[in-house]
Structure 1
Amino acid sequence: MARTRKLTISTDAAGHTAGWASTEPASDTPVTPHPSTAAFFDVDNTMLRGASIYWLARGLAARNYFTTADLAQFAWRQARFRLLAAEHAGDLSRAREAALAFVAGWRVDDVERLSEEIFDELMAPRIWAGSRALAQTHLDAGQRVWLVSATPVEIGRVIAQRLGLTGALGTVAEVVDGAYTGRLVGDLMHGPAKAEAVAQLAAVEGLDLDTCSAYSDSVNDLPMLSTVGHPVAVNPDTALRRQARERGWQIRDFRTGRRAARIAVPSTVAAGFLVGAVSAGLAIRRRWASN
């Protein structure tokens, strides 16, 4: 029997929504929201060149929270996990157990502050202009635009805020007294979990999924793309490109040959906070605690 996940809708001590997080309106005169239509964008390699967690790790390394050697190990282990996950049909049970162990004890407000700084420094220049323009088209039409990513929801919210989007759906980390415990609430926002989260958000906000759009680069997001009436493959991997052609979906590719080659390494760490984060993350936590 299929297991149904419930997307938690609650707030922590700071008033942040768990499961998904809204942002403030992007302007003083927002377009009147469309009552039943929204767009959902994957983040890594869809909205952003490479993986958000990789660039966050790069920014932390630059701030001496851990070393470049830790960063290399972090990237290698995450790349290895992504390969294993694909081989085992997306089995993320081991990832779920270890996913956020390295942030245990970190303050949520510190992570969000650092995420804002690192977005401005490293992520903003790597936002795909084409994907950002697609999101703006939806906003201009009065539609809500949500990011949907395996990255922790707090980081997703920072990216959504910086881009002027409606909010983010992401992996939920347990928080006690304003600090991460290192455990997850529910499952990683990955694969079928994304589709379930989108469906639950649609039920809460009264969205008609047949009129909604979804954008992703990865075949792992087929469940989410299949949930909406207007799926679009953006910078697709080979498997998704094949599926999109077979199903008659739109394909938008904003890469060029040389640019696509340059982002190959960070793109391998696009699965979010995964098993490979733990050993590198222990070094991060030791350095964090010593500051």
Structure 2
Amino acid sequence: MELALFDLDNTLLAGDSDFEWAQYLISRGVLDKEVYEARNQQFFDQYKAGTLDIFEFLDFQLKPLARHSREQLDAWHREFMDTRIQPMMTEASRALVNQHLAAGSVVAIVTATNSFVTGPIARAFGIPHLIATIPAQENGAFTGQPRGTPAFKTGKIERVEGWLESLGLCWGSFARSWFYSDSHNDLPLLGKVSNPVAVDPDDTLRAHAEGQGWPVISLRG
């Protein structure tokens, strides 16, 4: 049995669903362009630089969910999938996912982006498991706060190990384990698997991957 884990943003997707969700809400007039666009870009730049405060970012990202009904949010998300996400789902990404699924691997997306945004994306790829940052809810409505450990940096390892335990599994259950990522923020989890793969990597991850002899691939085709 093998384990195949995928980062989502700028790995399986040729773009960032987190960033694009905020941009979509700005385009719909849900968020104020002047206030939110610069802030969204600032957080994105911090993520790329490895300086992101995940809790500060989640406060920014999750607060809009608490201001609207789930019915309205779901309607917006359907349009978001059609206009922003589907164009970022490349044939190469679909083929790689399907290759692991066909081989009988246990397949999951592991992403810092919250599960409201990413759940439908995982389903669109046909991936059965999603390990994502969880938005807290009360009485069916989002509170604007995260629940539990965010799936970010070392938090990804904690969340993956908790998920495996819930399935009665552990790292040793697998003959081989894979993690595909574009970001140096994912070096902790890349270091845990037997087969780390850098996908269209940032400069820091590319240098690390080349130094370690890890495969470097592109899914943008």
Opposite residue 43 of structure 1, the aligned amino acid is L
Q: Give the drift of 1:204.
A: 2.2
Matched, 1:55 2:17: no
Structure ranking higher in helix proportion: 2
Larger gyration radius, structure 1 or structure 2: 1
**Equivalent in the alignment of 1:145:** 107
**Equivalent in the alignment of 2:126:** 164
Q: What do residues 233-282 of structure 1 show as CA deviations (whole Å, max 9, x unaligned)?
A: 100111111111122211102458xxxxxxxxxxxxxxxxxxxxxxxxxx
The counterpart of 2:206, out of the listed 233, 241, 257, is 241
**Equivalent in the alignment of 1:219:** 184
- What is the percent sequence identity of the aligned residues? 30
**Equivalent in the alignment of 2:142:** 180
Structure 1's 250 and 54: CA in aligned 2 closer, same or farther, altered over 3 A? same
**Equivalent in the alignment of 1:201:** 163
Return structure 1 stretches of 4+ with deviation > 6 angstroms.
none
C-alpha contact 1:39 1:214 (8 A) present in aligned 2: yes
What's the TM-score once normalised by structure 2's chain length? 0.86
Q: Name the CA distance, whole Å, in 1 between partners of 2:27 and 2:64.
A: 18
Opposite residue 181 of structure 2, the aligned amino acid is S
Runs of at least 5 residues in structure 2 that lack an aligned partner in the other structure: none
Opposite residue 41 of structure 2, the aligned amino acid is W
C-alpha contact 1:210 1:228 (8 A) present in aligned 2: no
**Equivalent in the alignment of 1:86:** 50
Runs of at least 5 residues in structure 1 that lack an aligned partner in the other structure: 1-35, 257-291
C-alpha contact 2:3 2:106 (8 A) present in aligned 1: yes
The counterpart of 2:216, out of the listed 226, 239, 251, is 251
Q: Give the drift of 1:98.
A: 5.0
C-alpha contact 2:50 2:184 (8 A) present in aligned 1: no
Opposite residue 177 of structure 1, the aligned amino acid is N
Q: Name the CA distance, whole Å, in 2 between partners of 1:242 and 1:180.
A: 40
Q: Give the drift of 1:60.
A: 2.6
Give aligned pairs, total: 218
Structure 1's 122 and 81: CA in aligned 2 closer, same or farther, altered over 3 A? same
C-alpha contact 2:11 2:219 (8 A) present in aligned 1: no
Q: Give the drift of 1:67.
A: 4.8
Aligned residue for 1:44, secondary structure, equals helix
Q: What do residues 63-112 of structure 1 show as CA deviations (whole Å, max 9, x unaligned)?
A: 332354455324333235436x624xx65454455552332243344333
Cα-Cα RMSD: 2.4
Higher relative contact order at CA 8 Å, sep ≥6: structure 1 or structure 2? Answer: 1
What's the TM-score once normalised by structure 1's chain length? 0.67
Q: Name the CA distance, whole Å, in 2 between partners of 1:140 and 1:126.
A: 23
